[in-house]
Amino acid sequence: MVKVSVRRTSYAYEELRECFFEIMEAIGGTEIGKGSRVLIKPNLLSPARPEEAILTHPLMVRAAAEYVLERGGLPVVADSPAIGSFKRILREGVIEEALKGLAVVCKPLNISVPVDIGKPFGLIEVAEEAITSDIVINLPKLKTHSQMLLTLGVKNLFGCVVGYRKPEWHMRTGVDTAMFARLLVLIHERIQPRFTILDAVLALEGEGPGKGGKPRWVGLLMGGSNAHGVDAAVCRMLGVVPEELLTLKIAGELNVWDGGLEMDGNLPAIRDYALPGRESLVFGPKILHGLMRRQLIQRPVVEASRCKLCGECRQICPAKAISHDRNSLNIDYDQCIRCYCCLEVCPHGAMHKRETMTGWLLRGLAEKLL
Ligand code: SF4
Ligand code: SF4
């Protein structure tokens, strides 16, 4: 049974800080002692302003750092962004400003160590800081995610896979979202963040987790000593069947999550939260998966009027499926593995997902028959 504390708040700093401290006390924060080396891991996906609801709010990062300092700990704020320089993210995300005056180290995660996360992946490279810190405070943002439905506590730790390794993993797990979810769960189990506090004050709905999503006021902080518990509480709040969040499903199969939740505080029911379109199923013999992927699964499309031809999507694309010249951008759908990294990183919200005609027809048919 995992206790998840929920508190209503805004980003008015005194109120937010009080809520944050209260949740930390409720979930065992006093464990942080003098000299504890504490990694604070926010979601610092890419350069974005706080009102875009893409990054963990800067004042939440400040509250976490203040909490650690008050307990005598040594806070380090770090992440490995998917795109853009860490410095620029700190500046644009107002994190640099928010941490002013605090004795906190702020740095990108750029040194990896090999760790064995278990079958089928074995040794993978994970940020050293995430493995060697005494305590990890995980600070995810409530956002939708084109590939994984939602990005919450467990998914936030994928940021501990250092920059250039991320697309490599997307490539290796391809469109097999269950395999990707297994990777996320095993990374989470290896890092074992001691505390997870979710920024669900200004959340992101629609085509998240990047600039294609829309900010949505929820007004909550949610915290627990187990990220699966926090993720399950979000599912309960949004009316999402827990198994639909593949990380929860896989965690259940691996016996690292038993589904038991004890709520501390009022969890509202939000039933109109805009979730991204579900993937079509890839089924049958593996030899046909490439064909089905091309024909059935929603494809990334570029909205030419918004595209600035900046090349960020081309850089992140693990399948090298994107090319562009001075005038237009091209996606090779035979190469594309439908990982949607391009949607995630596009700084102009120009990438979207679009259903294929075959996928649309089959989905309609399936919905009539089932
Ligand atoms: S789609 Fe987005 S990321 Fe790609 S080139 Fe255009 S603006 Fe840049
Ligand atoms: S084009 Fe986009 S969805 Fe396709 S493989 Fe590249 S990054 Fe992934």
Cis previous bond, 209, omega within 30: yes
Measured CA to CA, the distance from residue 11 to residue 203 in angstroms comes to 12
pLDDT class for 280, splitting at 50, 70, 90?
very low
- Ligand 2: which atom is nearest the Cα of residue 332? 1
What is the pLDDT, as a whole number, of residue 304?
Answer: 95
CA-derived radius of gyration, the chain: 20
Q: How close is the Cα of 347 to the center of ligand 2, in Å?
A: 15
What is the pLDDT, as a whole number, of residue 363?
Answer: 60
Structure token digits, residue 353: 């997902």
Structure token digits, residue 326: 């001075």
What is the pLDDT, as a whole number, of residue 359?
Answer: 66
Q: Which residues pair with 124 in a beta bridge?
A: 115
Any atom of ligand 2 within 6 Å of the Cβ of 338: yes
Amino acid identity of 15?
E
Measured CA to CA, the distance from residue 169 to residue 127 in angstroms comes to 15
Kindly report which listed range (93-107, 113-127, 294-308, 347-361) carries the lowest average pLDDT score: 347-361
Any atom of ligand 1 within 6 Å of the Cβ of 59: no
- Please give the share of the chain, as a percent, with pLDDT higher than 70: 91
Q: How close is the Cα of 318 to the center of ligand 2, in Å?
A: 7
Q: For a substitution probing ligand 1, which of 301, 345, 351, 353 has the most ligand atoms within 8 Å of its CB?
A: 351
What is the pLDDT, as a whole number, of residue 86?
Answer: 93
Measured CA to CA, the distance from residue 43 to residue 51 in angstroms comes to 14
Mean pLDDT, the chain, rounded, equals 90
Q: How close is the Cα of 69 to the center of ligand 1, in Å?
A: 40
What is the average pLDDT across 58-77? Answer: 98
Any atom of ligand 2 within 6 Å of the Cβ of 319: yes
Any atom of ligand 1 within 6 Å of the Cβ of 240: no
Any atom of ligand 1 within 6 Å of the Cβ of 152: no
What is the pLDDT, as a whole number, of residue 370?
Answer: 44
Measured CA to CA, the distance from residue 145 to residue 142 in angstroms comes to 10
User: When comparing pLDDT for 51 and 326, which is higher?
Assistant: 51
Any atom of ligand 1 within 6 Å of the Cβ of 302: yes
User: pLDDT tens across 128-167, in order?
Assistant: 999 999 999 999 999 999 889 999 999 999 999 987 677 7
Burial of residue 21 (CB within 10 Å: 0-12, 13-18, 19+) is: middle
Q: Among 162, 156, 45, which residue's Cα sits nearest to residue 112?
A: 162
User: When comparing pLDDT for 251 and 369, which is higher?
Assistant: 251
- Please give the share of the chain, as a percent, with pLDDT higher than 90: 73
- Ligand 2: which atom is nearest the Cα of residue 331? 1
Kindly report which listed range (189-203, 249-263, 267-281) carries the lowest average pLDDT score: 267-281
Measured CA to CA, the distance from residue 343 to residue 272 in angstroms comes to 23
Which residues have CB under 8 Å from 122's CB, separation 6+? 116
5: phi then psi, degrees, rounded to nearest 5: -95, 135
What is the pLDDT, as a whole number, of residue 291?
Answer: 60
Q: How close is the Cα of 112 to the center of ligand 1, in Å?
A: 29
Q: Check if the beta carbon of residue 23 is closer than 8 Å to that of residue 221.
A: yes
User: pLDDT tens across 141-152, in order?
Assistant: 999 998 899 999
What is the average pLDDT across 86-104? Answer: 96
User: When comparing pLDDT for 201 and 366, which is higher?
Assistant: 201
Q: Among 52, 85, 64, which residue's Cα sits nearest to residue 209?
A: 52
Domains of the chain, start order = 2-264 (3.40.50.11440), 286-369 (3.30.70.20)
What is the pLDDT, as a whole number, of residue 356?
Answer: 78
pLDDT class for 293, splitting at 50, 70, 90?
low
Measured CA to CA, the distance from residue 213 to residue 349 in angstroms comes to 8
**Of how many residues is the chain composed?**
370
Q: How close is the Cα of 343 to the center of ligand 2, in Å?
A: 8
Q: Coil, strand or helix: which one is 56?
A: coil
Any atom of ligand 1 within 6 Å of the Cβ of 311: yes
- Ligand 2: which atom is nearest the Cα of residue 316? 7
What is the average pLDDT across 103-113? Answer: 95
What is the average pLDDT across 7-21? Answer: 98
What is the average pLDDT across 309-332? Answer: 93
The pTM of the full predicted model, rounded to 2 decimals, is: 0.83
SS3 labels along 201-270:
EEEEEECCCCCCEEEEEEEEEEEECCHHHHHHHHHHHHCCCHHHCHHHHHHHHCCCCCCCEEEECCCCCC
What is the pLDDT, as a whole number, of residue 165?
Answer: 73
